Structure 1
Amino acid sequence: MSEITHFIAITVDLTNDGLVTGEPFKCASPASAIDRAKSMWKVFGHSGAVAYVRSGYPETKTTVLRTFGNVPDDLKVC
């Protein structure tokens, strides 16, 4: 069985409760996840955005590809 891999872009916004993440957006490739995260940050005006890859099942490994803008150091991407 092959390994399951998801490329994801997610936004980070500043609220009264601090920095919170938005809904994850699945992408077709690492490059498209990075481009999507960059555009969500730059064009749509979110405080920040993260592009990451999640692989494996049932044990998953998450690797951050790139961050943009204001992203907390201890961000938990689920």
Structure 2
Amino acid sequence: MADVTYYVALPFGIGDDGPEPREAVECTSANAAIRSAERMARTEGHIGAVAFSRSGDPGCGEFSDAVLLKAFGDVPSDLSAL
């Protein structure tokens, strides 16, 4: 199967230990992910959001590291777990 790229907007809320991820939303493009993340960052209960992409082969489950497209608000500095 060919590689595909997923675009994602991921909001963050405040948890006991600081910022924690909330429910991610898959988007149709990089621009859509950035717009969604910007909206999420301004939504009540969220302290920030990021837009990122990941490419890989869903058939075998191998994906490259996430590529940060844009961050808004208060998000963790280490996003390597994306």
> How far apart, CA to CA, are the structure 2 residues paired with 1:25 and 1:48?
14
Runs of 4+ in 1 over 4 A off after TM superposition: none
Q: Which runs of no fewer than 5 residues in structure 2 stay unpaired?
A: none
Shift of 1:30: 0.3
> How far apart, CA to CA, are the structure 1 residues paired with 2:25 and 2:33?
8
Shift of 1:56: 1.1
The two structures have a TM-score, normalised by structure 1, of 0.88
Q: Is the 8 A contact 2:49 2:71 kept in 1?
A: yes
Aligned to 1:25: 25
> How far apart, CA to CA, are the structure 2 residues paired with 1:53 and 1:35?
14
Percent of aligned positions with the same letter in both sequences? 36
1:1-78 to structure 2, matched below 5 A, reads: 1-42=1-42, 44-45=43-44, 46-57=46-57, 58-75=62-79, 76-77=81-82
> How far apart, CA to CA, are the structure 2 residues paired with 1:47 and 1:28?
24
> How far apart, CA to CA, are the structure 1 residues paired with 2:4 and 2:76?
27
Count how many residue pairs are aligned between Structure 1 and Structure 2. Answer: 76
Q: Which runs of no fewer than 5 residues in structure 1 stay unpaired?
A: none
> How far apart, CA to CA, are the structure 2 residues paired with 1:22 and 1:29?
20
The two structures have a TM-score, normalised by structure 2, of 0.84
